[in-house]
Structure 1
Amino acid sequence: MIKTYVLDTNVLLHDPSAMFSFHEHAVVLPAVVLEEIDTKKKNMDELGRNARMVSRFLDQLRKKGTLHNGVALDTGGTLRIELNHRSVALVHEKFPEMTNDNRLLAVALNLKQENDQSVILVSKDALVRIKGDVLGLNVEDYMHDRVLPNEEMYKGYRVIYTDPAVIAQFYQTNKMPVETIEAAEIHPNEYVVCKDVQGSSASAVAVYDAVSRQFVPLRYQKDVLWGIRSRNVQQQMALDLLLDDKVKLVTIVGKAGTGKTLLSLAAGLSQVEDHGVFQKLFVARPMVPVGKDLGYLPGEKDDKLRPWMQPLYDNLEFLFNTNRPEELEQILSGMGSIQVEALTYMRGRSLPEQFIIIDEAQNLTRHEVKTILTRTGEKSKIILMGDPTQIDHPYLDERTNGLSFVVDVFKDEAISGHITLEKGERSELAQIAADLL
């Protein structure tokens, strides 16, 4: 049965190619959507870029025929611009105000009244979906780009219960064939915590080497790194990935206080300053505010960036054992190998031989993540980290953000590794707050 999908503006601003994602079904764009797209096209940000892409897609489709009569899509479906359903009489009774959202709802409702075929309103705005449901419409969120919508995100490690003889053999030979462990598909650089199936305290931690198809011991075994040490097994796994030269992309997911930023900075300083593996430590984060935006800030570029970058400076102050900002500035200026920057200035750059840390990556879109990863130069390593449950971007959620996307698509690549940090180490209060709130 052919269905009719009415798309909200936020769907196209989130994914400009969304109009091609409905296969053989009919896609309808109400006139109000074009008006809202038009207001965004001059923005010099991600929304503006997406609005311009939508405009270009529609302009190309216009060459196939008259858009308000409908044109065929390569996917087998059709797309049309709906101009004849501006009447809001059916909506006015329950939502009397003439808003763009209500105009969108009116189009969907009028189409449903006129046609026996199934009409579905697709919106990323929860309130639009709620209002549509009140009006008796079929409503859906845009799910096409979601990562594993019905499954848990890849954690980077698993707990295995096995015979104690297998654990003893592993300690003797420093290797364990993958066939020894009865588990589903194992990914490159995935960790396992082996526990005794009989209940004793015997255990072992190993990482999967996809080349030899063996589980091997963790490659990093030191206790202290720039004055800090791992406090749990997941942090130990994270340091193992961060210090492995063969792993060029590391993704770290964890709640607030699990040590993502501190571990990454310590590993970066060790690799740059102590061992000279990389020439520079490059640290950046997206400038997405929590709550109300600060607006324009006074001063030069570094002065403007300081409030956004302060969480990174807090961790650097801890690692350099100073609590005076001016002393940290002197240290960083003297070293010259540490650069703290905003992601706004990433486009067009090339970053060779650098240890790159991208904090708060859950606030990045797929396109922004692609832009960042393609900046990575020869002999560089990049770390993406964040908490997908704490997203401040208006069009992203736990399953559609750039960080979750990278975790999923790179899990089978030997050049990458992922770990999920679950235990908070900042304080008892921070851990309880992360769990309860």
Structure 2
Amino acid sequence: MKKQQESSADKKLFVLDTNILLHDPHAFFNFQEHDVLIPMTVLEELDHIKDRNKDVSRDARVAIRSLENTLQDVTPELMIAGVPLNRGDLKDSTVTGHLLILNDHHINPEVSGLPGGENDNKIINAALFLQKKYSQKNEPDVTVVLVTKDINMRLKAKGAGLKHVEDYRTDQLIDDIRFLTKGYEEFEGDFWQNVAAVETTTIGRDTTHSVKAENLENTFINEYLLDDKSDFAARVVKKDDDHIDLLDLGRQRLLAREAWGIKPKNIYQGMALNALLDPNIELVILTGPAGCGKTLLALAAALEMVVEQGIYDKILVTRNTPEIAESIGFLPGTEEEKMAPWLAAITDSLEVLHKNDENPSSSLNYIMEKANIQFKSVNFMRGRSIQNAVVLLDECQNLTASQLKTIITRCGEGTKLVCSGNLAQIDSNYLTAVTSGLTYIVERFKNFEGSATVNLNGVVRSRLAQFAEENL
């Protein structure tokens, strides 16, 4: 579901499934002039979830509190008729819709033919009941829309006769993953042959070219520019209506960069390493297939900046734990030891970086202590303020936009955040490549001068991995 802008004659009534409020606890505010209905079954599910020892319980509690703030001090009759959404947590005159609570337990399950025992069926029956109710009225039609992130529930609802069923897509910024920003633009031929005028300035070791904005209309800050005929490689460092400033990097110089003994194997890794080693870029987003070097490059750059250059004080490594094992309390040991099964990619990369040492095991222990490498669970990142650290956030494709916002807002002064993920390996039941939080931040941050995105095109792990990526 995207924000709608229809006239009042096209009034809609959105029925929300439980997973919508878990995905976005404030989702019911995002329907503008339309009404939002929450079945009693959804409130009961939120009540059961809020006391679980799982990360999702927090989202359930936030949703319950937000609903309570909107519905406080209203009569039961008004709650059934509809409470204006422009109250409580929301003070926005453009939102003219209402929030309704429906006691769906009295609805006869025979309205759809679906068994009445399952909660999903109860919610579908509520939407079908409302569809039938409004279709029989003589007043202007009200379109009833069930909104759920459960694909199977959408199929069941359509099969039961519900005309309008949608996914929740308010936080979806693109409709096709092919349009996702790669973080670089490759030009055919010689780049400078298409530029009419250029002013070049050299300060110290940095050379900057200023070209007219009309030559590069669709570029954004910290986007990399390449061509296929020369050694040209540059990064957009400044942009206004008239001019665009390009920092000259050079293809060969990018490929010659090194961090903790690791050199780029292709130009995409060269661009990634450039962004990773630049302390002025506080957020680096690395996307790409399995085996393209995202984790290895991020860790090598982090070690270089913490141990060799002393720019940061520590390395914080974190990722979300799969929903099937979201609670790590049952595993033995400290938090770091409990997180070890999910952070094996990091430890594997550490072993690769030190495999040629005389005593790799001792080297690993020394570096872990020297770089102050800490393993943390995403579930315990809330409420923290991280200062002077490099934060490596792996497997971002399985996080929602709101979860990523929680983590990004933890980063204080002097902290660099590296988010990496493969949009082809999403494990979440309710996320797709276009609705993933990783996709969301790539699009949201592309015009932020403190961030850079690089899609690491090409598998370098092995020819076996490359063949599997291309053919399976």
State the TM-score, normalized to the length of structure 2.
0.83
Measured after TM superposition, the shift of residue 263 of structure 1 is 0.5
Q: Does 1:33 align with 2:53?
A: no
Measured after TM superposition, the shift of residue 242 of structure 1 is 0.6
Aligned with 1:159: secondary structure? strand
**Residue identity matched to 2:414:** K
| Change in 2 beyond 3 A, CA 1:348/1:79 | closer
Contact 2:198 2:211 in 1 (8 A): no
Question: What does residue range 108-187 of structure 1 map to in structure 2 within 5 Å?
Answer: 108-116=127-135, 117-137=142-162, 138-150=164-176, 152-161=179-188, 165-166=192-193, 174-179=207-212, 182-187=215-220
More displaced stretch, 313-322 vs 172-181: 172-181
Measured after TM superposition, the shift of residue 430 of structure 1 is 1.4
**Residue identity matched to 1:25:** H
Q: Does 1:68 align with 2:93?
A: no
Measured after TM superposition, the shift of residue 239 of structure 1 is 0.5
| Change in 2 beyond 3 A, CA 1:104/1:290 | closer
Aligned residue pairs, count: 430
CA distance in 2, matches of 1:2, 1:273: 60
| Change in 2 beyond 3 A, CA 1:218/1:108 | same
One of 14, 26, 50 as aligned partner of 1:17: 26
One of 377, 401, 408 as aligned partner of 2:412: 377
Aligned with 2:172: secondary structure? coil
Measured after TM superposition, the shift of residue 412 of structure 1 is 0.8
One of 337, 347, 354 as aligned partner of 1:320: 354
More displaced stretch, 299-308 vs 417-426: 299-308
Q: Does 1:87 align with 2:136?
A: no
CA distance in 1, matches of 2:443, 2:449: 13
Measured after TM superposition, the shift of residue 419 of structure 1 is 0.8
Contact 1:249 1:417 in 2 (8 A): yes
Partner in structure 2 of residue 432 of structure 1: 467
Alignment deviations for residues 282-333 of structure 1 (CA, whole Å, 9 cap, x no partner): 2222222689999832334333222122111000000012698843553235
Contact 2:393 2:419 in 1 (8 A): yes
CA distance in 2, matches of 1:341, 1:112: 47
Contact 1:65 1:71 in 2 (8 A): no
**Residue identity matched to 1:218:** L
CA distance in 1, matches of 2:18, 2:323: 23
Measured after TM superposition, the shift of residue 185 of structure 1 is 2.4
Question: What does residue range 226-305 of structure 1 map to in structure 2 within 5 Å?
Answer: 226-288=260-322, 296-305=330-339
CA distance in 1, matches of 2:323, 2:148: 24
| Change in 2 beyond 3 A, CA 1:45/1:370 | farther
Partner in structure 2 of residue 198 of structure 1: none
Aligned with 1:358: secondary structure? strand
CA RMSD for the aligned pairs?
2.9
| Change in 2 beyond 3 A, CA 1:194/1:178 | farther
More displaced stretch, 375-384 vs 309-318: 375-384
| Change in 2 beyond 3 A, CA 1:252/1:76 | same
State the TM-score, normalized to the length of structure 1.
0.89
One of 406, 409, 418 as aligned partner of 2:441: 406
Partner in structure 2 of residue 341 of structure 1: 376
Partner in structure 2 of residue 217 of structure 1: 248
Structure 1: segments with no counterpart, 5+ residues? 196-200
Alignment deviations for residues 377-436 of structure 1 (CA, whole Å, 9 cap, x no partner): 322211111112322233333233332222221111111111111211111221232233
Aligned with 1:356: secondary structure? strand
Report sequence identity in percent: 35
Contact 1:162 1:194 in 2 (8 A): yes
Alignment deviations for residues 64-102 of structure 1 (CA, whole Å, 9 cap, x no partner): 44312321222211221112552110222xx34621111
**Residue identity matched to 1:187:** F
Measured after TM superposition, the shift of residue 192 of structure 1 is 1.0
| Change in 2 beyond 3 A, CA 1:258/1:76 | same
